[in-house]
Amino acid sequence: MNYSNLSKEVSYALRHAPWEYELELDSEGWVSVEQLISSFRNNEEWQGLTEEGLVNMISLSEKKRHEIKNGKIRAFYGHSVPMKISKEIGIPPKYLYHGTSITFLPEIKSNGLKPMSRQYVHLSEDIDTARLVGKRKKGDTVILVIDTELARSKCVKFYVGNDKVWLSDYIPPEFIKES
């Protein structure tokens, strides 16, 4: 089984288009593992899919994108589905990082970090992760530093994604610096 392709398709189903798989996310983004497997098995490529296959997909991935608990599976972050997925508020480290393309910098400096096509702004716990995130975009990578203490003192909320990814609704320019 190609776990990288499987991870991409599971992400697509759980982040962006559950209805294409006749799945319905609950308010925290969970769906039944059994339902997901039975839907994926309709595709020839995933005919042999089992829960063990999903568990292997998660443990072999270099990024923690999905979790399985109590017979359900969800994506930790990345959602663009119309229904807002609720995330747990947390206290992040004093600084978080956002890697992006230099081409977006003027917009971000004047208007702040917006979720764009996703439900939340995605932030990284460390600079190396932020650099990898930024490299996915065309153009030179810039690393932005978010002062989360200052932002939290002005009522900006941060939510737990996974051990490296934090989420927020919107980061105003006053809390963003170039590294």
Q: What track of x and - describes contact with ligand HQG for positions 48 through 87 (by CB under 6 A)?
A: ---------------x-x------------x---------
CA distance 67 to 59: 10
Near ligand HQG in 100-129, by CB under 6 A: 100, 104, 107-108, 111, 113-114, 116-118, 122
Sign of the CA dihedral running 101, 102, 106, 112: positive
Query: Number of residues in contact with ligand HQG, rule: CB under 6 A?
Result: 17
Nearer to ligand HQG, 42 or 177 (CB): 177
CA angle 113, 170, 176 (to 5 degrees): 50
Nearer to ligand HQG, 44 or 62 (CB): 62
Among residues 66, 91, 68, which one has the least CA distance to residue 77? 66
Q: Which of 130, 165, 166, 175 is close enough to bind ligand HQG by CB under 6 A?
A: 165
> Would you tell me which residues interact with ligand HQG (CB under 6 A)?
63, 65, 78, 100, 104, 107-108, 111, 113-114, 116-118, 122, 133, 137, 165
